[in-house]
Amino acid sequence: MSTLQKLVLASGSPRRIELLQQAGIEPDRVLPADVDETPQRAEHPRSLAKRLSKDKAEKALDSLKSEHDYGPAFILAADTVVAVGRRILPKAETIDDAINCLGLLSGRSHRVYSGICLITPGGKLRQRLVETRVRFKRLPREEIDAYVASGEWRGKAGGYAVQGLAGSFVVKLVGSYTNVVGLPLYESVALLSGEGFKAHQKWHAARS
pLDDT value for 74: 96
pLDDT value for 208: 47
Q: Which residues pair with 80 in a beta bridge?
A: 114
Q: Which residues pair with 84 in a beta bridge?
A: 87
Q: Do residues 117 and 54 touch, judged by C-beta distance below 8 A?
A: yes
Q: What is the model's pTM?
A: 0.91
Phi-psi group of 2: left, alpha or beta (phi > 0 → left; psi -120 to 50 → alpha; rest → beta): beta
pLDDT value for 205: 58
pLDDT value for 182: 93
Three-class DSSP labels, the chain? CCCCCCEEECCCCHHHHHHHHHCCCCCCEECCCCCCCCCCCCCCHHHHHHHHHHHHHHHHHHHHHCCCCCCCCEEEEEEEEEEECCEECCECCCHHHHHHHHHHHCCCEEEEEEEEEEECCCCCEEEEEEEEEEEECCCCHHHHHHHHHHCCCCCCECCCCCCCHHHHHEEEEECCHHHHHCCCHHHHHHHHHHCCCCCCCCHHHHHC
pLDDT value for 71: 75
The residue annotated as part of the active site, out of 34, 79, 97, 145, is 79
Tens digit of each residue's pLDDT (9 = 90 or more) over 80-111: 999 999 999 999 999 999 999 999 999 999 99
Q: Do residues 82 and 157 touch, judged by C-beta distance below 8 A?
A: yes
The question of whether 55 is a catalytic residue gets the answer: no
Task: Count Cβ atoms below 10 Å from residue 124 Cβ, excluding itself.
Answer: 9
Tens digit of each residue's pLDDT (9 = 90 or more) over 20-30: 999 999 999 99
**Along the 208 residues of the chain, how does pLDDT read in single tens digits?**
445 789 999 998 999 999 999 999 999 999 998 899 899 999 999 999 999 999 999 999 999 988 776 778 999 999 999 999 999 999 999 999 999 999 999 999 999 999 999 999 999 999 999 999 999 999 999 999 999 999 999 999 999 999 999 999 999 999 999 999 999 999 999 999 999 999 887 676 555 4
